[in-house]
Amino acid sequence: MIEIRANKVFSAVKQRGPSRVAHVRIPLRFDPEQEDHSPTLFETYLLIALMKLTDATGVFEFGTFMGVTTLNLALNARAGAEIYTLDVDDASAREVQSELPKDGQLIGLRMKHYQMAWSEDFDLARRAPIEALYGDSTRFDFSPYSGRMDLVFLDGGRDLRTVRSDYGNAAGMLRPYKPAAIAWHDYQNPETPELTDFLDQLAGKVDLLHVHGSSLVLYLNFPL
């Protein structure tokens, strides 16, 4: 695993002036006591920088939850970009809720407050329309998105089976012959050991970058 400072990512964005301004929605917490697994503000800025570095016209997110990250990506995407976000459907969510108590609490919260973040800001998100997709990512048909994505953000299941499957599908969606990136969330989180172990092993086969001070790991098909 290659350790880098965030400035290496931010400095690679060559645009100046208004192009370096990011628009980020302040998240609304339905339960202030509930643990927050969403990307931090710092991590959100890194994802926005990746969109600019790849000049992304196609973005795919695994793990919508309440859709705050999805909205922030849409708010900062170039005009005409396509934003897709995949989350478990109700049937799969109930299976996970019964099998994994900790994840089930988060899924139960999502199902209780099912209004996505962008439903309140649809005018803001219109710059890059969001398409919400539902299903189990290990069984979902990704073929319509093959070779069409410039940025894939993996923030879904953390069990080894799902992590392996999601990586394979993410790699298949990357657009060839131009800058493209995959970003993982929750690396080195004590609650996601299988994800961390998988990425550490994968780093022995492909160049992966861990951004210091964050839980993001990046795969870039271009040099910074």
pLDDT tens digits, one per residue of 125-173 = 456 788 889 888 999 999 999 999 999 999 988 889 999 999 999 999 9
Residues with Cβ < 8 Å from 168, sequence gap 6 or more?
Answer: none
Across 195-203, average pLDDT:
96
The end-to-end CA distance of the chain, in Å, is 15
Residues 75/24, Cβ–Cβ less than 8 Å: yes
pLDDT of residue 120 exceeding 80, the answer is no
| 162-191 confidence digits (pLDDT tens) | 999 999 999 999 999 999 999 999 999 998
What is d(CA 112, CA 30) in angstroms, rounded to the nearest whole number? Answer: 10
Distance CA 132, CA 84 (A): 6
Whether the Cβ atoms of residue 194 and residue 159 lie closer than 8 Å to each other = yes
Strand order in the sheet with 151-154: 2-4, 209-211, 217-220, 181-184, 151-154, 58-62, 82-87, 130-134
118 CB neighbour count, 10 Å cutoff? 25
Q: What is the CATH number of domain 37-220?
A: 3.40.50.150
Contact 210, 1 (CB under 8 A): yes
Global confidence as pTM: 0.86
pLDDT in tens, 103-113: 444 444 454 44
- Range with the poorest average pLDDT among 31-40, 42-51, 171-180: 31-40
